[in-house]
Amino acid sequence: MGKTKTEGTTQETTEEEGTQPTESLYKVKALAYIKYDKENYKPGEEFNARKSDALDMADNGYVKKISEAPEEEGNSEDGE
């Protein structure tokens, strides 16, 4: 949900275009050059990835799963 400010009050929007249900995130470390969610990662860089994607990439040897990432507001997935 996004928040919009209107005349000094904060309102939450219930629908956002192009969003998907929230999925838990995993912190992973790239083992190869990866392009994920419009961002590029070099080997050794850490970033957050959706659970299903992290498990698939780990099974294929592209990343090493480090831990389950804490939930953050804004769902930042680039780890920065």
Dump pLDDT digits (tens) for 15-49: 444 555 677 899 999 999 999 999 999 999 999 99
pTM of the model: 0.58
**Which residues 6+ apart lie within 8 Å of 42 measured at CB?**
30, 33
Which pLDDT value is given to residue 14? 45
Domain ranges within the chain, ordered by starting residue: 23-69
Greater confidence (23 vs 52) lies with 52
Q: Is the four-CA dihedral 72, 76, 16, 24 of positive or negative sign?
A: negative
Cα–Cα nearest to 25, from 38, 36, 14, 33:
36
